[in-house]
Amino acid sequence: MTDSTKTLCPYCGVGCGLEVLPPAQPGKPINRDSAGTPIWQVRGDRAHPSSQGMVCVKGATIAESLNKDRLLYPMLRDTLTQPFRRITWEEAFDCIVQRMQTVRYTQGPEAICMYGSGQFQTEDYYTAQKLLKGCLGTNNFDANSRLCMSSAVSGYIQSFGADGPPCCYDDLELADCAFLIGTNTAECHPIIFNRLRKYHKQNRHVKMIVVDPRETATAQAADLHLAIRPGTDIDLMNGMAHLLMRWGHFDVSFIDECTANFPAFAQVMQDYTPEMTAQRCGIAVEDLETAARYWGESERVLSLWSMGVNQSSEGTAKVRTLINLHLMTGQIGKPGAGPFSLTGQPNAMGGREAGGLAHLLPGYRVVQNPQHRAELEQFWGLKPGQISPHPGRTAWEMITGLEQGDVGVLWIAATNPAVSMPDLERTKAALKRSPFTIYQDAYFPTETAEYAHLLLPAAQWGEKTGVMTNSERRVTLCQAFRDRPGEAKADWEIFAEVGRRLGFAQQFAFTTSAEVYAEFAQVTRDRPCEMTGLSHERLRVKGPAQWPCRDSGQVKPGEPARLYQELRFHTPDGRARFGAYHSRGLAERPDPEYPLVLTTGRLYGHWHTQTRTGRIEKTRQMHPNPFLEIHPRDASELGLQDKDWVEVRSRRGLARFPVTVTKAIAPGTVFVPMHWGFLWADQAEANALTHPECCPDSKQPELKACAVQLVPIKAGMSPQENLHPAARSSILAPSS
Ligand SMILES: Nc1nc2c(c(=O)[nH]1)N[C@H]1C(S)=C(S)[C@@H](COP(=O)(O)OP(=O)(O)OC[C@H]3O[C@@H](n4cnc5c(=O)[nH]c(N)nc54)[C@H](O)[C@@H]3O)O[C@H]1N2
Ligand SMILES: Nc1nc2c(c(=O)[nH]1)N[C@H]1C(S)=C(S)[C@@H](COP(=O)(O)OP(=O)(O)OC[C@H]3O[C@@H](n4cnc5c(=O)[nH]c(N)nc54)[C@H](O)[C@@H]3O)O[C@H]1N2
Ligand code: SF4
Ligand SMILES: [Mo]
């Protein structure tokens, strides 16, 4: 066995191509992990156009997690205080179908909710949409992308008439100015950052601007770092627009011919004088001017953004204000230019294509459009009116639905909300009230398993074949290469089996994921995300491809596809829309009682709630413990020294951390990583502190900021050292 399998890294939205080889290769020692267990070998796929053979530490070490602590069998319990007992799949399906039917006929389909994930493959997503939104007639499918990309989705839709990042990775090496806002690309999208940094180093005229309240590894590589106060992005961008206008750096013919609503934006930006803007953002006027000058004088400007922009109570407005800058300067639809949202999860893009948010339907359709609903009802062989005209519950609305007793079944798959949702105490209390929670994951224990009645073992990366789309709209076939452990099943297989047992045999007659994908591709016909030219077979033989990709073969394989090159947008009149937004600032501002702003985010070696990276020696050693970053000025006011412990309190909860005193964070702001749930540390949950206030358009919560107070923990009272996770896995140990 020397054959390698081509696939995609299942972590971040960069979507690096990987080649996987069996542990044993002729003439070589068997590949083993740190504990001596034989493991598959992973290397970058040089033929993959997105990553060209590069991988970061997460992709390189992924194989080590595949055999650790897997959930192997369905397990059931009647109440959350009981131990789980092993059951057969037959019993599990019976139990699900009976519950769903009872809830459907007693409370109605709106009492059924599914909370899925950007870590699904597209086939998983599509099957779930067909089951919930089509067959059951409830739009209560939402995904963790609600916490991640939904502001980018609504910003693109409102400005361009359709979702979809217009750029491609080749643009990283074609831009004259890269404007990175609210993204720690170096740690979170490392291979994109490698490409950009290399090009930036080799080309002295290229400018890199980073806007982030912290001096991240990304900021350290920039020509200009704007350490703005959290939540002042709109001030900054309106202030830049003001200067671009004053200096005549705008594209009159583009604005005239290709856009609408410029006067409203021009009116708003007038107020953002350099002095006021700089003062609000907490930066120097000269730095604001430098940013505007770099942008205005560059022929090609590429902006990159992620959670510092999206996870905000004005997330959509932030996205649209950034797009405004591109529209006023004509920086779109050409090589090296455009507003490029970096997708978080490996298949958040595929989720959007498949309609995997509560207001969307497959093929970049929306629930509230009657024609879109009718097209799908017909395609799915359902009666007219079967798809509900009402958007379903968002992730947070599922929590409030539990609180109000409106949810009869909650089905969670490929996400760990008992760590990742805002306002965790409230989230956990709501989960405890759930009449019946199904939880479908690859690992056990995870924090959310504590709140589940029925556990379903999921086949994960490498154990099922399906497609994922990365940030540059490139679709890659992720092929299975290893046996599934225990009785694990692919997510789509579980959804399809439930569909058949609920009486939709015809709708779920799929026998392979290739058939699921073939059907999904047809649903995208004549839609902005058209991929009728793609199939598992074509992706296997010819390699990854970007959409749009029609079966008539309009886009040549290998050609970088950029959207909007004809400068026609998906709005009814073909014009892009300026948005006009004043800054509103943070939903929860600091005050005398809670004087500091807490921001949260990621570390290079860890992935989210550590279900994999916490079980991999190398990545665990990189970041063994949680911590809180604080500026020396704030630290000395509190009498804190490096490594002292503090209790952080918000209006909702508390957490405890040792402090890292560093000038890399602005005074008045503190930072904690999001990675430690209650299985991995005592009381170090970032989300014990955060609040669920969200953007009115995208419904994305403001996970990036809340008001906190810090109380030093006096010597002698210090909390126990954090236990090693192995020591606490007994909390959830299944009964045999
Ligand atoms: N190593 C690693 N990589 C990952 C992930 C992971 O878990 N680990 N997860 C993936 C996923 S799903 C996602 S969504 C992405 C996230 O990727 P990023 O968005 O790059 O990561 P974050 O650390 O969440 O936040 C980015 C930055 O936003 C800054 N920020 C906070 N408030 C503000 C503000 O008001 N304005 C501005 N301009 N910036 C602000 C923070 O200081 C932080 O440095 O990463 C993906 N890649
Ligand atoms: N405070 C704070 N909170 C945040 C954020 C933040 O920046 N700050 N970021 C938010 C963002 S952007 C995101 S994306 C979320 C991420 O938060 P989560 O989605 O909760 O985090 P993960 O640890 O990625 O959870 C994914 C789960 O899916 C499982 N899994 C992996 N592959 C498969 C599969 O194929 N099938 C199934 N069924 N299961 C699988 C894994 O074992 C894991 O338990 O967190 C959000 N929460
Ligand atoms: S950059 Fe992202 S996709 Fe690439 S190897 Fe690292 S985690 Fe995986
Ligand atoms: Mo994310």
Atom of ligand 3 nearest to the CA of 56: 6
Q: Which ligand is nearest to the CA of 606?
A: 1
Contact present, 118 and 344 (Cβ < 8 Å): yes
What percent of the chain clears pLDDT 70, i.e. is strictly above it?
96
What is the residue with the minimal CA distance to atom 33 of ligand 1?
308
pLDDT, position 553: 60
Contact present, 599 and 669 (Cβ < 8 Å): yes
Q: Which ligand is nearest to the CA of 143?
A: 2
User: How far is residue 519 CA from its own chain's centroid?
Assistant: 25
Q: How far apart are the first and last CA of the chain?
A: 36
Contact present, 257 and 340 (Cβ < 8 Å): no
Contact present, 459 and 497 (Cβ < 8 Å): no
User: How far is residue 114 CA from its own chain's centroid?
Assistant: 17
Atom of ligand 2 nearest to the CA of 464: 35
- In degrees and rounded to multiples of 5, residue 560 shows phi and psi of -65, 125
Contact present, 178 and 731 (Cβ < 8 Å): no
Please check the confidence at residue 732 and state whether its pLDDT lies above 60.
no
Please check the confidence at residue 734 and state whether its pLDDT lies above 60.
no
Give the largest CA-CA distance in the chain.
73
> Tens of pLDDT along 514-555?
999 999 999 999 999 999 999 999 999 999 999 999 987 655
Residue type (1 letter), 24: A
* Ligand 1 mutation target, pool 307, 340, 599, 628, most atoms within 8 A of CB: 307
Instruction: Tokens for 597, please give them.
Output: 């702003």
CB atoms within 10 A of CB 241: 27
- Rounded to two decimals, what is the model's pTM? 0.96
Instruction: Tokens for 258, please give them.
Output: 């290709």
Give the β-pairing of 41-44 and 17-21.
antiparallel
Please check the confidence at residue 558 and state whether its pLDDT lies above 60.
no
**Using CA atoms, how far apart are residues 3 and 728, in angstroms rounded to an integer?**
39
pLDDT confidence band for 71 (50 / 70 / 90)? very high
What is the residue with the minimal CA distance to atom 4 of ligand 2?
420
More confident residue, 725 or 359: 359
**Using CA atoms, how far apart are residues 262 and 267, in angstroms rounded to an integer?**
9
**Using CA atoms, how far apart are residues 347 and 669, in angstroms rounded to an integer?**
32
Packing angle between helix 262-270 and helix 315-328, nearest 10 degrees?
100
> Tens of pLDDT along 390-399?
999 999 999 9
**Using CA atoms, how far apart are residues 347 and 327, in angstroms rounded to an integer?**
28
Contact present, 677 and 419 (Cβ < 8 Å): yes
Q: Residue range 556-585: average pLDDT?
A: 90
**Which residues are CB-neighbours of 224 under 8 A, at least 6 positions away?**
207, 208, 209, 210, 287, 290, 291, 294
Domains in the chain, CATH or no CATH each: 5-65 (2.20.25.90), 75-143+357-461+482-510 (3.40.50.740), 166-342 (3.40.228.10), 596-730 (2.40.40.20)
Q: Residue range 311-325: average pLDDT?
A: 98
Of 27-31, 185-189, 335-339, least confident by mean pLDDT is 27-31
Contact present, 187 and 671 (Cβ < 8 Å): no
Ligand 2 neighbours, Cβ below 6 Å, are: 117, 119, 144, 147-148, 307, 311, 344-345, 413-417, 419-420, 440-443, 446, 458, 460, 491, 600-601, 607-609, 611, 674, 686-687, 690, 703
Q: Which ligand is nearest to the CA of 62?
A: 3
> Tens of pLDDT along 449-490?
999 999 999 999 999 999 999 999 999 999 999 999 999 999
Contact present, 154 and 319 (Cβ < 8 Å): yes
Please check the confidence at residue 730 and state whether its pLDDT lies above 90.
no
**pLDDT averaged over the chain?**
95
pLDDT confidence band for 561 (50 / 70 / 90)? confident
Q: Which ligand is nearest to the CA of 680?
A: 2
Residue that is written with structure tokens 């090693």 in the block: 724
Q: Which ligand is nearest to the CA of 700?
A: 2
Please check the confidence at residue 728 and state whether its pLDDT lies above 80.
no
* Ligand 2 mutation target, pool 145, 306, 415, most atoms within 8 A of CB: 415
Ligand 2 center to 600 CA (angstroms): 15
pLDDT confidence band for 137 (50 / 70 / 90)? very high
DSSP structural state of residue 651:
S
> Tens of pLDDT along 580-638?
999 999 999 999 999 999 999 999 999 999 999 999 999 999 999 999 999 999 999 99
Contact present, 136 and 104 (Cβ < 8 Å): yes
> Tens of pLDDT along 152-162?
999 999 999 99
pLDDT, position 3: 84
pLDDT, position 38: 92
Please check the confidence at residue 286 and state whether its pLDDT lies above 80.
yes
Question: From its phi and psi, is residue 336 left (phi > 0), alpha (psi between -120 and 50) or beta?
Answer: left
Ligand 3 center to 585 CA (angstroms): 33
Ligand 1 center to 17 CA (angstroms): 22
Ligand 4 center to 146 CA (angstroms): 9
> Tens of pLDDT along 699-721?
999 999 999 999 999 765 544 44
Atom of ligand 3 nearest to the CA of 470: 3
Please check the confidence at residue 175 and state whether its pLDDT lies above 90.
yes
> Tens of pLDDT along 182-208?
999 999 999 999 999 999 999 999 999
pLDDT confidence band for 34 (50 / 70 / 90)? confident
pLDDT confidence band for 35 (50 / 70 / 90)? confident
Ligand 3 center to 8 CA (angstroms): 9
